[in-house]
Structure 1
Amino acid sequence: MEQLGHFLATVKETVNPVTQPVGVTMVRDLALIAGKKIRVKGQRLAVCQQIAYSRMYGWSTWADKQTAHCVLGAGCVGLITPPQRVLDGSVNNGIYQQDQAAAAAMQQAMPRLAPDVQGLLTYPLARPVEGIIPDLVVVYVNSAQAMRFVQAFLFHQGGEFTMKSSGDAGVCSRAVAQVALTGEPTVEIPCLGDRRFGMTQDHELCIGIPFSWLERTAEGLAATHKAGIRYPVPFQIPSGCDLPPDYITAEGDC
């Protein structure tokens, strides 16, 4: 699809993330994937692990309610109805929060899709599963690259970019569920599970972009790049830097 190609080319030129942008499709009709070739399926995987396979290895992945391994992620992306131990905060009581009330408050604020998703499909955006259009795109970046995306998001409309985080269920709740619910892009801090089981590095943030925003994001990246806002940010390298005397070229050096 021309739109995906333009987005990928622009991201490569202006931001150049280390790992691949990932397409994410919430499949509600299994007929959509009938006969499709999917590299990783039938394994018990968390959402963050699916995205890791796609962004790092370039593999497509599939998980449904039988194979979704993380109850938080499965509940966020609509594969299952979150069980009571999640909704009442029991899973994070005394770990992320000091008491049951605080734990429940965090869970109640977490974005979640309705439990009508038959399966979550992820794939490298450069090589989507045949005939599949992504609902959204997830890109892992460093903080300077995240800055460039925020600048792109605000290029047409100005204002400010608001980021929300719970410190848990990062990519599944914010970069997937929140983006799907609001139709707006997000920047999120990857959670502990993403770092431990999805190989996410300390410097990485995740960006979630709805499909409808891909073209305007590419336009914002290209326009701000053309205006001189570049990544990597060029340092001001001094002329005549302060070297020890014997290291400085002299008149007799030739």
Structure 2
Amino acid sequence: MKDFLSTLQKTVKPQTSPVAVKLFKETHFDGKAKVKNKKINICQQIAYSRYYNWPTYITAEDSYCVLGASCCGLIETPERVLNGEVNCNVYQKDIHAASNMQRLMPRIDENIQGVLTYSLERPVENIQPDVIVMYVNSAQAMRFVQAFLYDKGGEFLMKSSGDAGVCSRGVAEVYKYRKPVLEIPCLGDRRFAMAQDFEIVVGFPFEMMDEVAEGLLSTHKAGIRYPIPFDMVESCSLPDDYTTKESDL
């Protein structure tokens, strides 16, 4: 864990902490959490952990957003969500288009009892996370794509619904398919969980941590650096009065 965090600081320099997400299937988390038994969204859980390093834990009863709760397996997806009622005439023009979007949205099929989030900088004892979630800018996202492709090459494909960003893609898709994702934070994440205009969600399975670190570090050593160094020109076209002259020396 320390090696991964040190690699992040050397190669990517994220503004907020990477967040570990643990999904409890058969039991509940019985440890201490700064935020617990409070009505919040999945994206807000992640915000507490990435901004403040606070551990959070919610159950179905605590999960405020029906999309986040159903995507992460806390509840069975309600019919009004599956049939597109919730997003009809909001995100899509009719019920057919709305239900088509919901049909393709990643959801965890298992019955999840609770969702724990915490900062990787403050690990929770005896807990191994399922998913790692980070918020980065586009240049840092590029570095992660390069890290994901370092071992096997190929191409990185990104999917998005423009809604339920971090819960459906950053958590559910990664958990379900055990592959890394990039996603655009949704409206709720921005309004209620402080996602910034420039941020992109990066998610990957916990078991990929060493592979991601190797990809970041190896490409860094090969000369792909963040922040990206600009190619500075040797001379500038300044107005005559702003230019240092021989008489000024």
Matched, 1:61 2:56: yes
Matched, 1:89 2:84: yes
Contact 2:25/2:110 (8 A) holds in 1: no
Q: How many Å apart are 1:82 and its aligned residue?
A: 0.9
Match 2:199 to one of 200, 204, 212 = 204
Matched, 1:110 2:105: yes
TM-score, normalization: structure 1?
0.95
Give a deviation string over 1:153-178, Cα, whole Å, max 9, x none: 00010000000111100000001000
Gaps of 5+ in 1: none
Distance 1:29 1:16 in 2: 36
Match of 1:187 in 2: 182
Contact 1:79/1:118 (8 A) holds in 2: yes
Q: SS in structure 1 opposite 2:57?
A: strand
Count of aligned pairs: 249
TM-score, normalization: structure 2?
0.97
| 1:61 alignment partner AA | T
Distance 2:121 2:76 in 1: 32
Distance 1:116 1:8 in 2: 32
Match of 1:46 in 2: 41
Matched, 1:6 2:3: yes
Contact 1:81/1:115 (8 A) holds in 2: no
Matched, 1:77 2:58: no
Distance 2:117 2:36 in 1: 11
Match of 1:137 in 2: 132
Q: How many Å apart are 1:224 and its aligned residue?
A: 0.5
Amino-acid identity (%):
56
Point out the more displaced range, 52-61 or 238-247. 238-247
Contact 1:80/1:115 (8 A) holds in 2: no
Distance 2:102 2:86 in 1: 9
